[in-house]
Structure 1
Amino acid sequence: MLMKVYEHFAYLYVRGRYSRFSEKMAEILPMILEKFDARPHRILDVACGEGTFAVEMAKRGFQTVGVDISSEMLKFAKEKAKKENVDVKFICQDMRSLDFDEEFDLVTCWFDSLNYLLTIEDLEKTFAGIYRALKEKGLFIFDMNTRYGLAVGWSRYSCHIEQETEDILEIHQASYDFETDIATLRIIGFIRNGETWIRLDEEHKEKGYTLREIRERLRHVGFKELACWGNIKDMSEPQPDSRRVFFVVQK
């Protein structure tokens, strides 16, 4: 399921504003590392998408590996690394079955990618794989959409135009199921192809987890929580209306 939702959306993703989040995280990361006196050399970016964050880290001198389940997204990631003339290893792999053993000083997972895991079991599998991938004392830094963020943030505009240019039209339709805490985002896209238009349809689902559920799964696989923020810029605690939470945990 995870691969299919980005099979066509990748073409809209790389032309939209989505990469700005990864750019911001690349700018903020040095401040976080300084706060925890961390000096990583080798970084694993899980659910790396079209490679913005991984490439930015490589440009700053880090040895970087990017993992994503979407081969389409990785095509764009490889093109970006080549264009920026940096060496990033990109691997097509499901984040629920990571195959690394104490190879990284830092693992990141951005832009609510973990919310795509719709069961607590899959979330724990991913946390466990990341734990194994880290060296002793290594850090895992990630963000997730909160239930409030999905129920209110996603559903504020039940239908809106996400991007519109001469060559692209992208429409989002969102809903939230309060019984399952799963948000559904239907993406309808049109891409100009000469004198005709190609239509793309995808359905994205994200699961809203409580802070307690996330913390329990992290502790269960062995992580120690160093920080949890509702706002990463001022490093403030999550509030009831925080739409996103950021965690810093250590092996």
Structure 2
Amino acid sequence: MPGDYAVLASVYDDIGLNSFAQRMTPILVDFAQQRDWLGRRFVVLGCGTGASVEYLSNYMYTIVGVDNSPQMLAAARQKLDQSGASVRWLEADIRELGDAVGHADMVLALNVLNELNSLRDLEVVFTQVHRILEPGKLFIFDLHTIQGLTEQGRSGDAIVTDSTHLSVFVSDEYDYERQMATRHYLIFRRQGESWQRSEARHVLRGFPVQAVASLLQRAGLKVNGIFQLDLDPYEPGVSQASRVVFLVEKP
């Protein structure tokens, strides 16, 4: 996956892969504040090209952006290092944060946890979050549901952008046995008078929502709520949602 992000980093924002974090970060921070969250220190896991960090930097938070792709971090730095924001960038696997990340009043992870390989990997991340999160503070993340990934995998082929300098085609597939959605990218970028072709893939794995909630509790975290993207409560087995948001607290 890191190798695929070496390809995707240069087109990530152009094809809208940053749009979810860009749209949801202000909504989720406001949602937390409505529930009496207060704090200054953010750790953004899987920060990518910096959509969440860019919003947070407008409000003078102290931010650590973590990503395991140097190309994605370079794109984020290019956007934000001239802004004067208090941002520290950390190239790291979110399963192995170490002491360099410091402590946080909120840990935010958007568009990232479905990229982990297993429930065991999720549990490792949750343990890391418990270690860095201050008591009474929040961990907020989203998760594609198995239903949502199944729908994505049936999407077929599409053109996601087609301009004078960039054309990107995608094809989707779903592995029912491994609960895994794969999106293949075929990218053509204009370089002078010629076109450069590259390929990448993006793999997302589905995890049962209830199993994820159990792992959070086992890691010593408290699930304050599971919500649909409109922030209505999500009820496992009842709600039909392609994606959910977890609001989690360290007691």
Q: TM-score range by the shorter chain?
A: over 0.9
Structure showing the higher helix proportion among its residues: 1
Residue 98 of structure 1 and its aligned partner are, at CA, apart by 1.2
Contact 2:154–2:174, Cα closer than 8 Å, also in 1: no
TM-score (norm 2): 0.93
Which moves more between the two structures, 219-228 or 96-105?
96-105
Identity among equivalent pairs (%): 27
Secondary structure, counterpart of 2:85 in structure 1: coil
Which moves more between the two structures, 163-172 or 69-78?
163-172
Contact 1:46–1:67, Cα closer than 8 Å, also in 2: yes
Distance in 2 (alpha carbons) for counterparts of 1:47 and 1:5: 15
Contact 1:161–1:170, Cα closer than 8 Å, also in 2: yes
Give the partner amino acid of 2:213.
R
1:82 corresponds to which residue?
A: 81
Distance in 2 (alpha carbons) for counterparts of 1:76 and 1:87: 17
Residue 29 of structure 1 and its aligned partner are, at CA, apart by 2.7
The answer as to 2:236 corresponding to 1:235 is: no
The answer as to 2:104 corresponding to 1:107 is: no
The answer as to 2:28 corresponding to 1:39 is: no
Residue 12 of structure 1 and its aligned partner are, at CA, apart by 1.3
Secondary structure, counterpart of 2:217 in structure 1: helix
- Gap regions ≥5 residues in structure 2: none
Residue 102 of structure 1 and its aligned partner are, at CA, apart by 6.2
Contact 1:9–1:200, Cα closer than 8 Å, also in 2: no
Q: Displaced runs of 4+ in structure 1, greater than 6 A?
A: none
Which moves more between the two structures, 30-39 or 96-105?
96-105
Contact 1:45–1:64, Cα closer than 8 Å, also in 2: yes
2:246 corresponds to which residue?
A: 247
TM-score (norm 1): 0.93
Please provide the CA RMSD for this pair: 1.5
Q: What are the within-5 Å matches in structure 2 for residues 157-176 of structure 1?
A: 157-176=155-174
- Count of matched residue positions in the alignment of Structure 1 and Structure 2: 247
The answer as to 2:139 corresponding to 1:140 is: yes
Q: What are the within-5 Å matches in structure 2 for residues 1-251 of structure 1?
A: 2-100=1-99, 103-111=103-111, 113-152=112-151, 154-231=152-229, 233-238=230-235, 239-251=238-250
Distance in 1 (alpha carbons) for counterparts of 2:124 and 2:205: 15
Distance in 2 (alpha carbons) for counterparts of 1:13 and 1:140: 25
Contact 2:70–2:91, Cα closer than 8 Å, also in 1: yes
Contact 1:149–1:244, Cα closer than 8 Å, also in 2: yes
- Gap regions ≥5 residues in structure 1: none
